[in-house]
Amino acid sequence: MNNPKSVIKNIDIDSRVATCHLPTEYGDFKMHVFQDAISGKESVALTMGNFTDEEAVLCRVHSECLTGDIFHSLRCDCGPQLNESMKLIALKKRGVLIYLRQEGRGIGLLNKVNAYALQEKGADTVEANEILGFDSDLRDYAEAKLWLNYLGITSIKLLTNNPAKIDALKSFGFQVERTALHVGNTAQNTGYLSIKRAKMGHFHN
């Protein structure tokens, strides 16, 4: 059993980590939960395999989306991206999925629903955030850096279409190679995906 004090020291002196096995429909993962002792904010890492060599690790850094991940909303592609990432990691039998609790690209669930209501009146996803007084994307990937450091990972194959996420992780000193993740296109989210490409620079392929 890990010494709790050594685990805390490895990730952050103001945090704690709990770990268990998590069997899923895709395979058996290890689930690690990190809680910041000051803010109480929690994040999750699902891991499979070991990361003791220098080979790049398949990695998904996924921001929480209650509507997509849990309720299977067709307004976004978040749920399918989450599921596909778990599937790809399980097929390779090696990888990490980092789940960050930053709903609505960082504006929270209440404001996300308010943004949805504005979209129903004609605003796009970026305009809706701006009407509410927010930037288009307020996500922070500092906790992803903590997780990758904690797991001893320095090089990743990042499952993403978002160049800002790649740039953020590169700025933390990680070697990042992109792996495309185009799933979950629906008739209901065509406009949303188009705006992400046109206004937020997301990759087409």
Is 139 considered catalytic here? Answer: yes
Residue 47 CA to residue 2 CA, distance in Å, equals 17
Concatenating the DSSP letter of every residue in 141-199 gives: -HHHHHHHHHHT--EEEEE-S-HHHHHHHHHTT-EEEEE-------TTSHHHHHHHHHH
Question: Is the Cβ–Cβ distance between 90 and 60 less than 8 Å?
Answer: no
Tens of each residue's pLDDT in the chain, 205 residues? 344 334 444 555 456 789 999 999 999 999 999 988 777 889 999 999 999 888 999 999 999 999 999 999 999 999 999 999 999 999 999 999 999 999 999 999 999 999 999 999 999 999 999 999 999 889 999 999 999 999 999 999 999 999 999 999 999 999 999 999 999 889 998 988 888 899 888 888 7
Whole-number Å distance between alpha carbons of 12 and 153? 16
This prediction has a pTM of 0.90
pLDDT of residue 13: 45
Query: What is the rounded radius of gyration, in angstroms, for the C-alpha atoms of the chain?
Result: 17
pLDDT of 4 reads 38
Q: Which of 60, 77, 139, 197 is catalytic?
A: 139
Element at 28 (helix H, strand E) = strand 28-36
| In the chain, where the domains are located | 4-100+139-186
- pLDDT attached to residue 5: 38
82 and 183 Cβ atoms separated by less than 8 Å: no
Distance CA 19, CA 10 (A): 14
Residue 137 designated active-site: yes
Residue 47 has which token pair?
């891991």
At 204, the amino acid letter reads H
DSSP-derived secondary structure letter, 83: H
**Of 137, 140, 178, 197, which is the active-site residue?**
137
Q: For 4-100+139-186, which CATH superfamily applies?
A: GTP cyclohydrolase II (3.40.50.10990)
Amino acid at the residue 107:
I
Phi, psi for 56 (deg, rounded to 5): -60, 140
Q: Which two tokens stand for residue 114?
A: 């308010």
For residue 179 the two structure tokens come to 């792996």
